[in-house]
Amino acid sequence: MPQPLLQERQKLLLLGNEALARGALEAGLGFATTYPGTPASEIGDTLAKLAKEAGIYFEYSVNEKVALELAAAAAASGVRALVAMKHVGLNVAADAFISVVYTGTRAGLLIVTADDPGMHSSQNEQDNRYYAYLSGAPLLEPSGPKEAYIMAKAAFTISEELELPVLLRTTTRVSHTRSAVEVGELPRPQERKVRGEFVKDPFRFVIVPSVARRLHKLLLERLERAETLAEESPFNSVLGEGEELGIATSGVSYTYVCDAIEELGLWDRVRVLKLGLSHPLPRGLVTRFLKAVKKILVVEELEPLLEGALRALSQELGLMIEIYGKGTAGLSRLYEYDPDRVKGALAQVLGLALAGVEPLPELDLGKLPDRPPVLCPGCPHRASYYALKLALGEEFKETIFTTDIGCYTLGLLPPLSMADYLLCMGSSLGTAGGFARATGRRVVAFIGDSTFFHAGLPALVNAVHNRHKFLVVVLDNRTTAMTGHQPHPGLGLEGAEAILIEELVSGCGVRRVHLIDPFDLQGAVATFKEALKESEEEVTVVISRHPCALIEAETETET
């Protein structure tokens, strides 16, 4: 049955992530990889669903670094490639990312990072625009689903013209907003290049120091070409002809700016600099903008990157112009913006009273009870936590619990209260070793099955090699549940043999490995008691295996 997302010349109602995936397919994408992470997950999920019919190669990779390395190799072989990840995933991939910007690419390479202002589903709200400045990659910032589609489609041409990977940065509101998108035609199967040829060029692609020195110089030359391209790009423009105030913005903030101007009736007083290809900065366009207005308001979520660039350029040009940014009205480095916050900043800079703007009616609903997120009814993680709590008995309060990224992070909350320390994907095992050595106390590390494959193995090897003493509980619910039930290497799919966690753990040198079903409460408690005793002498692993309750419910419905 044809997929609706593969219709041609239609107006489709698409999520930003779906629109981005569609744009890449129209551009001739042949190779795509990802590690799932909200708010980027639907990019990979969409491509996974469409891959066979669209005729592309797609995979869920074990982590973001591996995903990027695969895509980089495909692009070096002449196949247009995309890799998608959430913002913190680019931290994992950063080593490979910065190097591939040095080597450059042959076919178009699009690297998508989805930032999460407001931390809806993340441990921080880092601004990944910094990665463009750090690496030298050109940066695209769509303001909504339609632009995500257009920019993804154009990114491959930009990448090939500059011989550089392109970084496309979305945010949660762009990724998860639905909008009508007029899609075009898809390449015919014979037109889509999915198999390439790697022409050897070791003095470009093997970046030993002598090669890297030459490549850095070449990168700076490519960035000069990129600035010329940014000057001419349709993604960069100035709207309006007002001279009283110039508003510089990018990404989703542009939509809030337009809403605020419209509501306040200010189009005759302001002009807007919209940057969609925001790095490198189109200095000529920005210079003309700075000289055309009396003062500037910079509207950008999170860090003041654009603000800093405008201040630096103004100083360089000798312009005595007031620039308002972070600290103006409600514009801070924290969380998401919205039209009301931007409206308040505009009013403050222009000295407007907001009288006449009708506030939303306040409803007296009384005090609503708190409703924190909880593990699903029937979740096997609940049973695992409960069994371990029973096994610990009086030692529970003195035990240090390190945890990881996944549904089971909710073990933080009462009545479980079994999470004391978390940094990032895979950190539970490394930090457990640190706590065990530094405190001498009992330590239990929780890690999920997908997270174990992603980042747990190196820390486990380290624990065995350095004779750390703690208990690892691998919460194996047979899926990557939190991001939408994507597969991982522990599952046998499409003919691939499952890689068993117990065999991997034993192969790493762990001598004490136990497998339990957490719903066998008596057996689970007995095994945990035995494993806790063993962990006083050496690192010990318990794999608590039972399918996610949502998967079981779905299976029962199908049968």
Q: Are residues 426 and 304 in the same domain?
A: no
Report the C-alpha gap between 466 and 436 in whole angstroms. 12
Q: Are residues 226 and 279 in the same domain?
A: no
Mean pLDDT of the chain: 92
Residue 499, domain member (yes or no):
yes
Report the C-alpha gap between 244 and 263 in whole angstroms. 18
**What are the phi and psi torsion angles at 299 (to 5°)?**
-120, 105
Task: Locate 230 and state its tokens.
Answer: 């940014």
- Which of 3-12, 22-31, 156-165, 279-288 bottoms out in mean pLDDT, i.e. has the lowest? 3-12
Query: What is the predicted pLDDT for the residue at 329?
Result: 76
48 confidence band (pLDDT: 50, 70, 90): very high
Q: Are residues 179 and 243 in the same domain?
A: no
Query: What is the predicted pLDDT for the residue at 82?
Result: 99
Q: Are residues 404 and 513 in the same domain?
A: yes
Q: Which residues contact 144 (CB under 8 A, 6 or more apart)?
A: 16, 174, 177, 179, 252, 255
- Which of 279-283, 365-369, 453-457, 537-541 bottoms out in mean pLDDT, i.e. has the lowest? 365-369
Q: Are residues 463 and 502 in the same domain?
A: yes
- Domain total for the chain? 3
Q: Are residues 431 and 346 in the same domain?
A: no
Q: Are residues 257 and 205 in the same domain?
A: no
From the list 267, 273, 263, the residue with the least C-alpha distance to 298 is: 273
Q: Is the dihedral of CA 91, 95, 101, 105 positive or negative?
A: negative
Q: Which domain holds residue 158?
A: 4-232
Task: Locate 485 and state its tokens.
Answer: 């039930």
Query: What is the predicted pLDDT for the residue at 558?
Result: 55
485 confidence band (pLDDT: 50, 70, 90): confident
* For range 331-360, the mean pLDDT: 82
Query: What is the predicted pLDDT for the residue at 557?
Result: 60
Q: How far apart are the first and last CA of the chain?
A: 22
358 confidence band (pLDDT: 50, 70, 90): low
Q: Are residues 255 and 185 in the same domain?
A: no
Task: Locate 438 and state its tokens.
Answer: 């530094």
Place of tokens 């007296």: 364
499 residue type, one letter: I
1 confidence band (pLDDT: 50, 70, 90): very low
Is residue 52 scored above 80 in pLDDT? yes
CATH code, domain with 399:
3.40.50.970
Report the C-alpha gap between 364 and 415 in whole angstroms. 31
Q: List pLDDT tens digits, range 289-317.
A: 999 999 999 999 999 999 999 999 999 99
* For range 228-243, the mean pLDDT: 95
Pair 445, 452: CB distance under 8 Å: no
Is residue 206 scored above 50 in pLDDT? yes
- Is residue 322 within a helix (H) or strand (E), and if so which, with residue range? strand 322-324
Is residue 173 scored above 50 in pLDDT? yes
Q: List pLDDT tens digits, range 363-405.
A: 676 777 878 888 989 899 999 999 999 999 999 999 999 999 9
SS3 content of the chain, % helix, strand, coil (to 5): 45, 15, 40
From the list 333, 310, 305, the residue with the least C-alpha distance to 322 is: 310
Last residue of a domain, one of 232, 252, 279: 232
Report the C-alpha gap between 93 and 109 in whole angstroms. 15
